Structure 1
Amino acid sequence: MGVVNNTHPPVSLYNQIPFIHDMEHVAETYADDLNHLRNLLDTHDMPMSVCIKLLHIHFHLNKGEILAVHELYAPPYGKIPFLEPMTPDAAGKVYGCNYIVDDSGDLQAFEYTTIEGGADLAAYPAFVAEFCAAVVQRGVQNKFGLAINSGAAEHGSWMELDFPERRATFLLPSHLPLPQSDRLVSRTTKTKFPSLKTERDGNKDLKTHVHVEHSYQRSRRIGVDDEEPVDGVTTKNGLHLTGVPLQPGTALYTVASAISAAA
């Protein structure tokens, strides 16, 4: 128990992790367990880039795929982290960035990054052992894991949005505005939690990550070809966010265009 595994896990392990829309109230319901795990980050003096992760996925993987993070340039907003399924050969050199405690009580990477420089969890064996034991004993193996932030995502606040055509997710700086419409209802779910001490100290570099999910008011549906709009950015008949057209020159239009161009 407590070994760090950065080998590619079977797709069956990845696909049994809950979807983000099923995890909205987990952090609140299991607040005592979450706070215990966050305290371990302080007890073991872990790097600020390591945080507790609300376990979730956005799309299933197919056999032979891994989920890998890379960065796209979307001027003038800089680097945008983009998470999409890739084959290991196409991804090249990757590093574990999101971890689940598996059935053996070990810390298993389930998502990867192409960005170097993240913390090496194997350098903190006492923390890993205590974290894994706590997760198993408290029965929260499908609720909380670990995340290592690196690259652009290591600094600042970010929001996740989905790009369903590529079974992908991208991050957008949280200060950038999203389209407003009386047809959209949004909800946010916090997905990463730093140590309690870091949060209490009001660290100026405190990182926050939330997933933003939109639903469309069915009574006012205007989907393309009368189809029910899906959550996230789509490109059919122009760029849309859950059925609402994106306006050229806006932040989301610029980022979505950069993603589309990189396809």
Structure 2
Amino acid sequence: MALIEEGFVSANTYNSLPTIQEAADVPREYAADLGYLQRLLARHNIPKSITIRLIHRHYDIADGEAMVFRDIALPAHGTVEVMRAASIASAQLHGKNFLVNSAARLQAYEYTTETTIDLSEYETFIAEFVESVVHRKLQHRFGLKINHHSEMEVKADQKEFEFPEEQCTITIPTNLPLPEATYEIDVDTDWGALHNKHKNKQGKGKPKPKGTRTRCSHGGTMCSHGGSTEMENCREECTKEDGIMFDGRIVQLGTPFHGLLNNLMEVW
């Protein structure tokens, strides 16, 4: 397809994308544009495996790297998804999250090790999506997410958490143990089709996700010990306690999420 740009985005391009902190207000500030793109999905009868994606990044990459999602099966819990930087030569990678680049083409900027669906049969939709994104100047705000086959069976909502101590993110179904809900940022990052019958019901509020949801939840810049200790300065103090450092806070030994996190670190 001429509308699909092959090849990996450069590290410079990826590192120029907004962070999740910088993108957190985009769904509210551009709610009308988001609603339009959701209705575009509905108008073209696009399957649930293709959704609108909030464009953001969590960490920088180096030249020759890409951000890659990988499913990890935890024997005692189920499957979670980990995203971290990997060499583009390390495995066969498939586009997962796409942006509209400066050449007005759809291009993957994050990848998965799983096989994704074939976009070739959605050429008419992609052409209109790209045109709409360029016309509305949304290139660094909204793109597309292409779910891989195993994700199509996911029934539970999911939450993505930063794990800066390991330079990765972890996406966890909400029916599994989660960390304490004390996050400063909690924003939807994927949206499915929105049919016209919902247009007037939602008014000027942010469009509601359809089907399962993926949200990003991240802490602030202060250590969970309280006071004014910056995260980067609290590691030595935190490691004196029993538990695992996770997003600047201690996950205490014996808690359900500690069990999941410990299980993950054993198998990855």
SS where residue 147 of structure 1 aligns?
strand
Judged with a 3 Å threshold, the aligned counterparts in structure 2 of structure 1 residues 243 and 163 are, in CA distance, closer, same or farther, namely: closer
SS where residue 66 of structure 1 aligns?
strand
- Give the match for residue 245 of structure 2: 240
Judged with a 3 Å threshold, the aligned counterparts in structure 2 of structure 1 residues 217 and 235 are, in CA distance, closer, same or farther, namely: closer
Structure 2 gap ranges (5+): 199-209
Structure 2 contact 9–107 (Cα < 8 Å) conserved:
yes
CA distance in 2, matches of 1:158, 1:129: 30
**Shift in Å, 1:219:** 8.8
SS where residue 22 of structure 1 aligns?
helix
Query: Which residue identity lines up with residue 161 of structure 1 in the other structure?
Result: F
CA distance in 2, matches of 1:226, 1:142: 29
- Give the match for residue 138 of structure 2: 140
CA distance in 2, matches of 1:259, 1:188: 23
CA distance in 2, matches of 1:15, 1:226: 21
Query: Which residue identity lines up with residue 75 of structure 1 in the other structure?
Result: P
- Alpha-carbon displacement from aligned partner over 1:33-81 (angstroms, at most 9, x marks no partner): 1111111111111110100000000001011101111111223321111
Percent identity (aligned): 27
Alignment of 1:1-263 (within 5 A): 3-90=3-90, 92-116=91-115, 118-154=116-152, 155=154, 156-180=156-180, 184-197=182-195, 206-215=211-220, 216=222, 220-221=226-227, 227-228=233-234, 238-262=243-267
**Shift in Å, 1:143:** 0.3
TM-score by length of 2: 0.83
Query: Which residue identity lines up with residue 157 of structure 2 in the other structure?
Result: S
SS where residue 92 of structure 2 aligns?
coil
Structure 1 contact 2–129 (Cα < 8 Å) conserved:
no
Judged with a 3 Å threshold, the aligned counterparts in structure 2 of structure 1 residues 235 and 76 are, in CA distance, closer, same or farther, namely: farther
SS where residue 52 of structure 1 aligns?
strand
Judged with a 3 Å threshold, the aligned counterparts in structure 2 of structure 1 residues 197 and 228 are, in CA distance, closer, same or farther, namely: farther
Structure 2 contact 17–56 (Cα < 8 Å) conserved:
yes
CA distance in 2, matches of 1:6, 1:176: 36
**Shift in Å, 1:2:** 6.3
Structure 1 gap ranges (5+): none
Structure 1 window deviating more from structure 2 (217-226 vs 160-169): it is 217-226
- Alpha-carbon displacement from aligned partner over 1:142-185 (angstroms, at most 9, x marks no partner): 1000001225543221101112133211111124454448xx55
Structure 1 contact 97–147 (Cα < 8 Å) conserved:
yes
Provide the alpha-carbon RMSD of the alignment.
Answer: 3.0
Structure 1 contact 96–113 (Cα < 8 Å) conserved:
yes
What is the number of equivalent residue pairs in this alignment? 251
**Shift in Å, 1:245:** 2.5
CA distance in 1, matches of 2:45, 2:231: 55
CA distance in 2, matches of 1:82, 1:199: 36
**Shift in Å, 1:251:** 3.7
CA distance in 1, matches of 2:21, 2:246: 17
SS where residue 196 of structure 1 aligns?
coil
- Alpha-carbon displacement from aligned partner over 1:203-251 (angstroms, at most 9, x marks no partner): xx9120000011247892496999247xxxx988640234433234434
Structure 1 contact 198–206 (Cα < 8 Å) conserved:
no
CA distance in 1, matches of 2:258, 2:95: 30
